[in-house]
Chain A
Amino acid sequence: MKISPSTSWRLKDTLYRLALGKCKKCGNIKFPYQKICEVCGSLDVEKIFSKGTGSLVDYTILYQARDGFEKQSPMIVGLVRLDEGVDIVAPITDAEPSKLKEGVRVEAVFRRMRNDSYNGLIQYGIKFRVVLDAGNN
């Protein structure tokens, strides 16, 4: 059993909605959300949700798949700068590697991550895709 229903439930804000922790004392924004500020140790951290938009700072094409992710190989892994100002490392989907460029606008999409062959559970989560009408907004 690789996927725990209670873990998936607990992580729903992070995995499905990109919850960020915004420190009210020093202003640091952290992904994934955590209750205590990693920079100043303040307990006054607000949970906010990313708009799910940002730009692609950089990317790599990962050829060694992990167990359960074989069908997603090769996986494009991007360094995405969310518009809230946080850099996150995340999978990029629906993209032609040859057409990817640094600085291109990306948006979060909800996708299936892997399933558990033992009991049929499916793990979902957020990936990013290139915004097709970038430049019009």
Chain B
Amino acid sequence: MVSIVGCGLTKLDRYYELSEKDLVSEAYKQLITKIKEYDQPDIVIVSSGYIDVLGKNILSSYKISSGLGLQNTKVMRIENGDNGGASIFTAYSFIKSGVAKKVLLIGIEKFSDYPSKYVNEYLSYNLDNDYTYHVGITPHAYSALLMKKYMKKYNVDYEYFTKWPIKMHQNASENPLAYLKFKVDKNTVVNSQIVSDPLRIFDVGARADGASVVLVTADEVAKRYFDSPVKIDGIVGNIGAMNLSDPSLPSVAKARNELGDLPKRDVVYEIHDSYSIMAALEIEELKLAERGKGLDVVDSLDINLSGGLKARGYIGGGTAIYQLGEVFLHLTNQFKGKSANAEKGIILSNDDLGNTSYLAVLSR
């Protein structure tokens, strides 16, 4: 019903010379040089978390679309925390309903224009703005508290969490588009800077600049653009407050329940590892590992072969669109990094603390 026919991904990096519009243009150029036929999309969806507050852009969907030379289309931006999954869900729904035949998904974020204390300020807009935001707390503190609870409940020490960054950096070192293309050892992680005890810098997704464009079409027109399109089998989503008192992510659990058992073989996963603790909980909520053992399975699954938010880099609300492009490349044997010989791809997209989640299933 719904197919992906092409994508364009910029390398994630710090781009002091390029604007959001420039980055999207770079990704778009890749897309239109790879597809067989070029025509304008019926709808453009811009997925971005912070393009208004960091980039001083309202009406970003119009500005970006006109920057791509689009003349006849409908445009919108979707903001759902750091959850680009909502944008994928919207594109999927437009096509499945017949409202559109071609939707251009654009993921964009630019974090490097401001120092981290300002970026932390805007990321804290994700917290409740009746109390928590006003008293100076950041999502990092929540993540640290979540980590402490997990450590107590499952009797694991900090070393348990080092498995994630070590694996992610190893994967990123093979990915030419990754932001942090270097390997790290346990010693480096354990001795890295403390952000909010016990959370260290290597437990936090690496904020970067970057863009992704993905062209999604109805099946009947897909082959006009690409000979072996990838199908979006379905996308589900749900909400539920992250549980700090008994570490868990109800929104992920509910979304996963809609899909039933998820495969462990012949599948490539991309999950939202905003923090190492989030990776652990997400893997457990997806029932890919037992409770308290989420990070013990990182070597036995094809998960975040890109290097994840941790090392490929993190582009806020553009993240899931980037992951969608990566999984498309895996399923069409075009992924340049560590590749998976997979039949299916599954993307878990949630905000950094997992209050709202989407799960998309793709297949060759």
Contacts from A to B (Cβ < 8 Å): 11, 14-15, 31-33, 38, 57-70, 72, 75, 77, 79, 87-91, 113-114, 123, 125-127
A33 to B193, CA, bound (A): 37
Contacts of B177-207 to chain A: CB distance below 8 A: 193-199
A14 to B148, CA, bound (A): 27
Asked, given contacts A11-B130, A66-B124, whether A89 binds B141 with beta carbons under 8 Å apart, the answer is: yes
A72 to B138, CA, bound (A): 13
Contacts of B124-157 to chain A: CB distance below 8 A: 124, 128, 130-132, 134-138, 140-142, 144-145, 148-149
**Are B120 and A66 in contact (CB-based, < 8 A)?**
yes
**Are B138 and A32 in contact (CB-based, < 8 A)?**
no
**Are A89 and B137 in contact (CB-based, < 8 A)?**
yes
Partner of A77, one of B131, B137, B149, B194: B137
In chain B, what residue has the closest Cβ to A114? B136
Contacts of B135 in A (CB 8 A): 15, 90-91, 113, 125-127
Contacts of B118 in A (CB 8 A): 67
Q: Is B57 an interface residue (CB 8 A)?
A: no
CB distance from A115 to the nearest CB of B (A): 12
A59 to B245, CA, bound (A): 12
**Are B136 and A66 in contact (CB-based, < 8 A)?**
yes
Partner of B117, one of A33, A67, A88: A67
Tell which of B121, B130, B198 has the most Cβ of chain A within 10 Å.
B130
Q: List 15 A-B contacts (CB under 8 A).
A: A11-B134, A15-B131, A32-B131, A38-B241, A58-B149, A60-B141, A60-B196, A61-B197, A62-B144, A67-B117, A67-B121, A87-B245, A89-B141, A113-B135, A123-B134
Interface size on B, residues (CB 8 A): 32
A82 to B193, CA, bound (A): 32
CB distance from A98 to the nearest CB of B (A): 12
Asked, given contacts A58-B149, A64-B196, whether A31 binds B134 with beta carbons under 8 Å apart, the answer is: no
Contacts of B138 in A (CB 8 A): 62, 64, 66
Q: Is B259 an interface residue (CB 8 A)?
A: no
**Are A66 and B140 in contact (CB-based, < 8 A)?**
no
| 14 extra A-B contacts, CB within 8 A, seeds A14-B131, A63-B196, A88-B131 | A15-B131, A32-B128, A32-B131, A60-B144, A60-B196, A61-B196, A62-B140, A62-B195, A64-B117, A68-B121, A75-B141, A77-B141, A89-B145, A91-B136
Contacts from B to A (Cβ < 8 Å): 116-118, 120-121, 124, 128, 130-132, 134-138, 140-142, 144-145, 148-149, 193-199, 241, 244-245
In chain B, what residue has the closest Cβ to A33? B130
Contacts of B244 in A (CB 8 A): 79, 87, 89
Tell which of A68, A79, A123, A127 has the most Cβ of chain B within 10 Å.
A79
In chain A, what residue has the closest Cβ to B147? A60
A85 to B118, CA, bound (A): 34
A14 to B135, CA, bound (A): 11
Tell which of A64, A72, A90, A113 has the most Cβ of chain B within 10 Å.
A64
**Are A60 and B145 in contact (CB-based, < 8 A)?**
yes
Asked, given contacts A15-B131, A77-B145, whether A60 binds B199 with beta carbons under 8 Å apart, the answer is: yes
**Are A91 and B117 in contact (CB-based, < 8 A)?**
no
Partner of A91, one of B128, B137, B148: B137
Contacts of B194 in A (CB 8 A): 61, 63
CB distance from B203 to the nearest CB of A (A): 12
A11 to B148, CA, bound (A): 31
**Are B134 and A125 in contact (CB-based, < 8 A)?**
yes
**Are A15 and B134 in contact (CB-based, < 8 A)?**
yes
Contacts of A67 in B (CB 8 A): 117-118, 120-121
**Are B145 and A70 in contact (CB-based, < 8 A)?**
no
**Are B120 and A64 in contact (CB-based, < 8 A)?**
yes
In chain A, what residue has the closest Cβ to B138? A66
Tell which of B136, B196, B199, B241 has the most Cβ of chain A within 10 Å.
B136
Give 4 closest A-B pairs by Cβ, nearest first: A60-B144, A32-B130, A69-B136, A77-B141
A90 to B130, CA, bound (A): 12
**Are A31 and B131 in contact (CB-based, < 8 A)?**
yes
A111 to B201, CA, bound (A): 30
A47 to B292, CA, bound (A): 38
A57 to B243, CA, bound (A): 14
A62 to B194, CA, bound (A): 9
Asked, given contacts A75-B136, A77-B141, A79-B244, whether A63 binds B195 with beta carbons under 8 Å apart, the answer is: yes
**Are B130 and A14 in contact (CB-based, < 8 A)?**
yes
**Are A64 and B140 in contact (CB-based, < 8 A)?**
yes
Contacts of A114 in B (CB 8 A): 136
